[in-house]
Structure 1
């Protein structure tokens, strides 16, 4: 009996410690909240370890570890998937000017006007292509979320003109991503014009920040997939 319990207990302890240590340092922008990976993965790992030990009668310690890893990842579900996607997006968007934000299972990418569009234009700027190529690659690898593209403008000009311009900006980004192989059924667009400014429209720099595109990633209905490899 002792020879069975010791490896099982060790396996459980190891998995729980790993889960507790897996904090999402990006959630709430520097908060200390535990990620869904740790919360659900740790609980699922307990069940997996017990099941694994029961299945592998010849080596219960090894079976417990295998079961814990497999079931723990599955129990973490979309949270684990989003953790992986967020980390990859942060790596790809480094030094591009694109900001990555995380709120729960949702990921937001903020692309300011100084890299996206010139004033009063819906034509993609030359230095915006590389970030978009990286996004397309990521969206094809991580394909379990919807992609909402929202265009914004500064407050210069009429509201009617700005609403139309913001729609065209969002559509320009969508068209490019789809042309790079992103599934069109996942993509939606809308224009918000000058609404929800993130900076003052009084200065040129503030207007450039408001002339932005935001991409919102949300789980597709029923998305509880294992992480992309």
Structure 2
């Protein structure tokens, strides 16, 4: 009985908070991030309710826990849905990738559009793009921002590490200039240690030279 109760509640809460939607970028129908978050929250809340209640009150505790979990999960999902939508509109055609991972967002900024070779000063023609990012981040203040710098494997490991740190710091400092609260932003360099493609080809090395922004909801 409890399993059926949880399954039905997760389904109904997820449908009520978003259901299926058509992705405007791929044209494919998918379950909305809000609905997914609500379902995950409902399941977690139901499990906690079942584990902490007495046998006689277990069904009631499952319902209460699932409803509370869905509200939390769906709320964060909806907030990040809205932020993702605005970022995609602002960054369309700029070369910056927007990727969704659960309730987190990743902005991948290729090195060829952000910095000159071997330099850590942001390219002048990229500043308007970064300003657009800053505008959205200022509006959606309930997110943490992790700026990470990455390089390819050409050159010494120590020089790549230093360059990645300086590039990440440059992006962080620019966001702070756009009145993003310093308490929200952290920066770190990872050198050549986190490739996303093979360093054996020019295309792979170009993909690895990048700065990423990871956005996480704070609530």
1:134 paired residue number: 132
Partner SS for 1:101: strand
Q: In the superposition, relative to structure 1, how do residues 23 and 123 fare at CA in structure 2: closer, same or farther (>3 Å)?
A: same
1:94 paired residue number: 92
Q: In the superposition, relative to structure 1, how do residues 159 and 21 fare at CA in structure 2: closer, same or farther (>3 Å)?
A: same
Deviation at 1:32, TM superposition (A): 3.0
C-alpha distance in structure 2 between counterparts of 1:216 and 1:16, whole Å: 26
Whether 1:201 and 2:194 are equivalent positions in the alignment is no
Q: Is the 8 A contact 2:151 2:164 kept in 1?
A: yes
C-alpha distance in structure 1 between counterparts of 2:183 and 2:22, whole Å: 30
Aligned partner of 2:114 among 108, 116, 119: 116
C-alpha distance in structure 2 between counterparts of 1:204 and 1:178, whole Å: 33
**Length, aligned pairs only:** 176
Which runs of at least 4 in structure 1 moved beyond 6 Å after TM superposition? 15-18, 72-75
Superposition RMSD on alpha carbons, in Å? 2.9
Where do 1:159-178 residues align within 5 Å? 159-178=157-176
C-alpha distance in structure 1 between counterparts of 2:178 and 2:154, whole Å: 32
TM-score by length of 1: 0.68
Where do 1:43-122 residues align within 5 Å? 76-122=74-120
Deviation at 1:21, TM superposition (A): 4.3
Select the structure that is richer in strand. 2
Q: In the superposition, relative to structure 1, how do residues 176 and 201 fare at CA in structure 2: closer, same or farther (>3 Å)?
A: same
Deviation at 1:154, TM superposition (A): 1.2
TM-score by length of 2: 0.71
Deviations 1:40-65 (A, max 9, x none): 39xx9xxxxxxxxxxxxxxxxxxxxx
1:215 paired residue number: 213
Q: Give the structure with higher Rg (CA).
A: 1
Q: In the superposition, relative to structure 1, how do residues 120 and 33 fare at CA in structure 2: closer, same or farther (>3 Å)?
A: same
Deviations 1:168-198 (A, max 9, x none): 0000000001001111110001101012212
Q: Is the 8 A contact 1:107 1:216 kept in 2?
A: yes
